[in-house]
Amino acid sequence: MPGAKERELRRRIGSVQSTKKITRAMELIAATRVVKAMQRANEAKPYAAQVTGVIENLAAGGASVDHPLLREVDEAKRVGIIAITSDRGLAGAYNASVIRAAERQLDAARTAGADYALILIGKKAIDYFTFRHYEIAAQYTGMSDTPTYENAREVADNIVTQFTAGDLDRVELVYTEFVTMGTQRVTVRRYLPLESTSTIAEGGSAEAGSLAQFEFEPSPGGVLESLLPRYMESRLYSAMLEAAASEHANRQRAMKAATDNAEDLITKLSREMNQARQASITTEIMEIVGGAEAMGSGDDSAIINVLENMEGATA
């Protein structure tokens, strides 16, 4: 008959084992999602590169740089902070690090005497800032797992409108950059105002670069007018795609660690359980031996007899 301790341990091993099954499944799902997310991020690259290329050519063609999105203010009165997090947890430190970086930006803005506007993507950031009674200017859920261009446009349009209207003087973008499968970095980027077109051009892929004489329709300024909003959308879209890939990579790592831990725990608990069983068997034998000795007259045959019977019973 198993002892109370042994029974308790057996129950715990069972529960750890079912947890392990769940974390293993989540790990596998995350692994396939990372691959898909990376592929999407790669497919979005040509568009972003081309848009930058056009801006590059515009700069070379001497387009006017007077655009509301380029408006630089000496002292920002209201700073927008975009934070991209996930809707679901169980992704290690993924959400916590983005939230921490966003909060640092917020504190910095407050210290400088500016107001803040939180633009939050993902339920985790919303929960965090709501719980701490921060004022949230805009919140979006259901788009961080597999962002579409439409999602990015919705958010970007909202921000660009506010910036153009003068409600925001500066916008920072906080997200997780997907460097490689093993490295993801929390990054804070200036989203608005834009650097001048020539600075954007310098960061471009420099495919053009030649001093070709471009023709523009309707005009360099007119092209820039409709191009810059696209550029904003495309930048946010790539950030969202990278964040999504990072989320899945982080979740895969977190779930792998959880599965490994569960395995270690199972080994440890099994050893403890075996020990407990051994101990109870030993105690039982001791009791039998003790009993036989008390009955017998110093003759070992009685004890051997009892033990042989027991072996037959337990085998």
Partner 1 sequence: MQVEVVSPERITFSGEASMVVVRTVGGGDLAFQSRHQPFIGVLQISQAKILNDDGGELFAVHSGFVQCHGDKVTILSDVSEAKDDIDVDRAKAALGRAEDALRADDADEIMVAAKRRAETRLRVAGATTEAAV
Q: Establish if 216 lies at the interface with partner 1 (CB under 8 A).
A: yes
Which residues are 121's β-sheet partners?
84, 140
In Å, what is the CA distance from 147 to each residue of 3, 28, 46, 142, 177?
55, 21, 17, 8, 15
User: What is the dihedral angle through the alpha carbons of 153, 156, 158, 163, rounded to the nearest 10 degrees?
Assistant: -150
Count of residues interacting with partner 1 (CB under 8 A) = 33
Backbone angles phi, psi at 74, to 5 degrees: -60, -50
Backbone angles phi, psi at 83, to 5 degrees: -120, 125
Q: Establish if 213 lies at the interface with partner 1 (CB under 8 A).
A: yes
CA angle 167, 173, 177 (to 5 degrees): 170
Q: Establish if 69 lies at the interface with partner 1 (CB under 8 A).
A: no
Cβ neighbours of residue 181 closer than 8 Å, sequence gap 6 or more: 34, 249
Cα–Cα dist 62/73, whole Å: 24
Q: Establish if 65 lies at the interface with partner 1 (CB under 8 A).
A: no
- Among 5, 12, 88, 230, the residue binding partner 1 under the rule CB under 8 A is 230
DSSP codes of every residue in 125-190: HHHHHHHTT--EEEEE-S-SSS--HHHHHHHHHHHHHHHHTTS-SEEEEEEEEE-SSS-EEEEEEE
Q: Which one-letter amino acid corresponds to residue 78? A: R
Q: Establish if 226 lies at the interface with partner 1 (CB under 8 A).
A: yes
Cα–Cα dist 77/75, whole Å: 6
Shortest spacing between CB 152 and partner 1, in angstroms:
8
Q: Which is nearer to partner 1, 38 or 109 (CB)?
A: 38
Q: Which stretch binds partner 1 (CB under 8 A): 24-32, 91-99, 210-218, 301-309?
A: 210-218
Q: Which stretch binds partner 1 (CB under 8 A): 83-91, 118-126, 206-214, 256-264?
A: 206-214
Q: Which is nearer to partner 1, 158 or 261 (CB)?
A: 158
Shortest spacing between CB 145 and partner 1, in angstroms:
16
Residues 238-277 that bind partner 1 (CB under 8 A): none
Site string for partner 1, 25-64 (x = CB under 8 A): ---------------x--xx-xxx-xx-xx--xx--x---
Cα–Cα dist 241/39, whole Å: 10
Asked whether the beta carbons of 51 and 140 are under 8 A apart, the reply is: no
Q: Which is nearer to partner 1, 130 or 205 (CB)?
A: 205
Cα–Cα dist 253/308, whole Å: 53
- Among 208, 269, 306, 307, the residue binding partner 1 under the rule CB under 8 A is 208
Q: Which stretch binds partner 1 (CB under 8 A): 78-86, 208-216, 256-264, 306-314?
A: 208-216
- Among 29, 149, 167, 261, the residue binding partner 1 under the rule CB under 8 A is 149
Site string for partner 1, 161-180 (x = CB under 8 A): --------------------
Footprint of partner 1 (CB under 8 A): 40, 43-44, 46-48, 50-51, 53-54, 57-58, 61, 148-149, 152-153, 208, 212-218, 222-223, 226-227, 230, 233-234, 237
